[in-house]
Amino acid sequence: MRRVPDCHVLILVLEGTLHITQGGRDFDVGAGETFLMAAGMEHYGTRASKGRLSYLWVHFCTDDLWDTAPTEEWTFHIPEKYTADSPSRLRRLFELVLQSSQRGCKNAEDMAVCALRLLLLELTAQADSVSPRTSELVQQVSLWVRQNCHRRLTVAAIAKRFHYSADYLSARFRRETGATLSVFLNECRIELAKSLLSNETVSIKETAYSCGFADEKYFARAFRKSTGMTPSEYRAR
């Protein structure tokens, strides 16, 4: 189905891959990525998704005309497609928008608008923090690791996937991002763990194994080092 929306639609893919065409260009939006369907631009599904597809979305309108040219006056800078630096933070803010809109009080609409602004500001902050000097290789590695961090991965396995030696890929990744590939892998797993811990039906042990950790105790240590809290404390908060 082809549509030309009269407002913007921001999407955050949680699972699977969304195949969409906008403005005559094809996009494959994977887990942990956002996509902005811009007002006034035709879009349609390119092809059917394989397996489960899950995403969050929100409509919003702006008074100004849509413009892709960067200006200093912009309040929000929303990329057309973006690999989120912290998908779990965006997910929590999406959920806050939804919860605010469903409040049965006279201020519900104002609360939803404030939550939406916070979501867009968070996305702006994440997008603006990305270094433009990051190579296409490092971007591809980062995206693949985010989408596959739940697997029992090692740096050697990641390097083999991209046909490089572990030493070379690790050194290049650290040179361009400032973090080692193993640290980045753990950060992606911790972000996934935060999302799973919000579901009280999933045990901490199940969370550890579902995030690619082979040992529950190592998961607890890594989680505390990253967040300053144990998994149990994080869930309680």
How does pLDDT run across 172-226, given as a tens digit for each residue? 898 888 888 999 999 889 988 988 888 888 899 999 999 999 889 999 999 998 8
CATH 2.60.40.10 fits 136-236, yes or no: no
Average pLDDT, whole number, for the chain? 86
How does pLDDT run across 134-174, given as a tens digit for each residue? 777 888 898 899 889 999 899 999 999 999 889 889 988 98
Q: Which pLDDT belongs to residue 76? A: 78
Q: Which pLDDT belongs to residue 133? A: 58
Q: Residue 34 has what DSSP assignment?
A: E
Sheet holding 33-37, edge to edge: 54-60, 8-15, 33-37, 81-83
pLDDT of 67 above 60: no
Q: Which H or E run includes 218?
A: helix 216-227
Percent of the chain with pLDDT over 90: 35
Residue 61 to residue 9: CA distance in whole angstroms:
9
Q: Which pLDDT belongs to residue 24? A: 78
Q: Where are the domains of the chain?
A: 8-62+73-128, 136-236
Residue 192 to residue 173: CA distance in whole angstroms:
21
Question: Domain 8-62+73-128 class?
Answer: mainly beta
